[in-house]
Structure 1
Amino acid sequence: MTLGILSCLVLFSFWSIANAEEPKTSLPSLALSPEHRPTHHAFQNDKSAPAAVQRFAEQQAVTLSTNNAEANWKNADLDFYPLGPGTHSWMVQAAFEGKPIGYMIITATEQGQMMLSEYGQGEQSPYNYELLGQALNQQHVELEALLAGGGELHLGYALPLLAYWKVEQPNHPALYIDATNGDVLPPQLLNLLEADSKQVSASQTHLSPAPSGSVDPLHLRPVFNPDDNLLWITSKPVAADRVQDVIQHVEIQEIVFSADDRNVIYGGPLPVSGYQLWHTEQEEESILYVALGGKTSIQRFVPLSTLQQDGQFYILKP
């Protein structure tokens, strides 16, 4: 990551803590008319995803179904949406009999390997049009007028975990909106992230095959808002070698994930709201996906290894 990006992260760290997990219920809902609602035609799908990406997504869907057959992941219809800049990630929306059942975000690494960067269960997913409309209304931008007047919407994704909308308005600076909670993001940071992402190249023709595997049942925790009790800020973070045990400990009810000066990228600080263990034939150790959010932002399952690169976990004591 460039020095400029790090500088911006430090500059906006206080901003991110102040805005994380803020309720959005007071914002008005925006009903889009059918002719202006973004559809599959607004964002390319299926044909834009390489065959290897589609096979990888299909395998992950089969894996997700191994302990959750009622969700119908195995029989789901999968729609693919490229996430810019650089198109190294794809949003995969899963539906069964026309009803959303979950989502996945798949990323191609520089080494040509694919990884499941995150996923979600149920009807919630990033890039929700209603949440986008609410955020734009707060900025006094009408989505119908924006689209009718030549404006454009782009789905963006910046590693490790920033899903966002890029809203381009004629004769106005672009707006960047967090796709998971509706927060307006600092444009200076996003400009740097996009420039940095465009420099990364990944082969989309020689991607690694997907390993087969299985998952344990979902384990969910009560959802809370870290802003309601800020005592966790003064406590010591959980030691790295104890984090997985703590997350899986049934008696510990409230755990907070915070990436400190990188919270703006994670939409944090966020509550740990569950976990799910993944097993593959090639790996001796299981992979823990940690569920973050779920109260005022969508719930996202993310590899623990991703989170530990940037953040710490805190136990919220009564």
Structure 2
Amino acid sequence: MKSDVALKQSRIQKCIYVFLSVMLGFAAFSFWPTAYAAAPTSNLAPAAVEQYAEQQAQALGTSNIDWLAARLDYYPLGPGTHGWYVQASIQNKRIGYMIISVTSDGQLTLTEYGQGEQALYDNELLGQALERLHLKQTTVLAAGGEITARYAPPLLAYWKLERPNQEALYLDAANGDLLPANTLQRLERDAHVQSGGLAELLKPQVMSTVKPGRTSTVHKHPAFDPSIQLAWLTSEPLQPAHIQRWLQYNQREALVFSAGERNLFYGGPLPVSGHQLWHTGDINAMDPEESDSVLYVALGGIYSVQRFVSLHTLWNDGHFYILNP
């Protein structure tokens, strides 16, 4: 009799264990931005990348205290891009993200970041995009397929869907749009050819040159849809020398960023929805603008995730237009 009771208890304990394991698995699946990769560990990013990411989180924490308490999880983006998607969260609630990349000369750089609960690689958006293609994540995986998060500089975050004996599909991670396969295949081939050894790029002395920084509050700009409000198409682009002052002192004026033929890499044209200053080195409390500073511009945020990108990157790729010239 006692043995029967012990056997039943053992079976109940096993059932509870299996149930909890399944629930934890579903929780990890819903939170992990690239649902088909392994759980994040420190082995997925070199120590130099983690140190750099923590410094950027500290800088963001000077204007948004959530970053100071956030856990940072690292997800490699590849192949050949030498980049990491860093998800910041507090008790499984997303508070922001960063994309950290390695430049050709081995320097770490904050390519872009976002603040808030929106994720750049979002499983819900991925599911909607697959549904439009009459596909499901479960059936793709069951058939031996794979879905991975990829990144192409300067600003193209995308999903690559690979299935046995079929051409790969590429989906824009920011809005779910289907991307031209031939363009992405060429980009991946070029990245593979140019790719050097990551250990050679990330030298220990890189981190010794990084200065501590701080950020200003996020300054918001008017929200609108450039594809509906088309008056900006008749305006002349702002001169590069005037853009930073225009952003800082004309915040009520709506601006559009367009990269012309390179809009594929931005999902643009996009509204300028805000900006934030990053200060490095010594800060003059009387006049913060006298310190070394970098201006990050927020793009999108209406129908897609709001993405902060350095003004220097945008200068090189496109132009800013006044919405109502």
Offset of 1:171 from its aligned partner?
2.0
Residue aligning to 2:16:
none
Equivalent positions of 1:180-219 (< 5 A) are 180-198=174-192, 199-201=194-196, 202=198, 203-206=200-203, 208-209=206-207, 210-219=210-219
Offset of 1:223 from its aligned partner?
1.6
Contact 2:36 2:148 in 1 (8 A): no
Q: Does 1:302 align with 2:309?
A: yes
312 and 97 in structure 1: CA distance in 2 versus 1, 3 angstrom threshold: same
Q: Which one-letter code corresponds to 2:111 in the other structure?
A: S
Residue aligning to 1:54:
50
Moved over 6 A (4+): none
Secondary structure of residue in 1 paired with 2:227: helix
Secondary structure of residue in 1 paired with 2:292: coil
Contact 1:246 1:252 in 2 (8 A): no
Q: CA RMSD in A?
A: 2.0
| Aligned equivalents of 1:245, 1:35: Cα separation in 2 | 45
Q: Which runs of 5+ in 1 are unaligned?
A: 1-32
Moved more, 261-270 or 80-89: 80-89
- Deviation per CA, 1:221-276: give whole Å up to 9, x if none: 23211011212122100001001111123454310000000000111000000000
Residue aligning to 1:131:
125
Q: How many residues align?
A: 284
Q: Aligned match of 1:287 in 262, 281, 294?
A: 294
Normalising by structure 2, what TM-score?
0.83
Q: Does 1:103 align with 2:110?
A: no
Secondary structure of residue in 2 paired with 1:286: strand
Q: Percent identity?
A: 51
Contact 1:103 1:120 in 2 (8 A): yes
Equivalent positions of 1:239-278 (< 5 A) are 239-278=239-278
| Aligned equivalents of 1:279, 1:105: Cα separation in 2 | 19
| Aligned equivalents of 1:251, 1:193: Cα separation in 2 | 36
Secondary structure of residue in 1 paired with 2:44: coil
Q: Which one-letter code corresponds to 1:206 in the other structure?
A: K
191 and 299 in structure 1: CA distance in 2 versus 1, 3 angstrom threshold: same
Secondary structure of residue in 2 paired with 1:136: helix
Equivalent positions of 1:223-238 (< 5 A) are 223-238=223-238
Moved more, 184-193 or 224-233: 224-233
Secondary structure of residue in 1 paired with 2:166: coil
Q: Does 1:171 align with 2:178?
A: no
Contact 1:50 1:204 in 2 (8 A): no
107 and 36 in structure 1: CA distance in 2 versus 1, 3 angstrom threshold: closer
Residue aligning to 1:29:
none
Secondary structure of residue in 1 paired with 2:84: strand
Offset of 1:278 from its aligned partner?
0.1
Q: Which one-letter code corresponds to 2:52 in the other structure?
A: F
Equivalent positions of 1:121-160 (< 5 A) are 121-160=115-154
Secondary structure of residue in 2 paired with 1:227: coil
Question: Between Structure 1 and Structure 2, whose CA radius of gyration is higher?
Answer: 2
Q: Which one-letter code corresponds to 1:170 in the other structure?
A: P
| Aligned equivalents of 1:271, 1:108: Cα separation in 2 | 28
| Aligned equivalents of 2:240, 2:63: Cα separation in 1 | 28
Contact 1:89 1:106 in 2 (8 A): yes
Q: Which runs of 5+ in 2 are unaligned?
A: 1-24, 283-289
| Aligned equivalents of 1:75, 1:300: Cα separation in 2 | 21
Structure with larger RCO (C-alpha < 8 A, sep 6+) = 1
| Aligned equivalents of 1:262, 1:98: Cα separation in 2 | 35
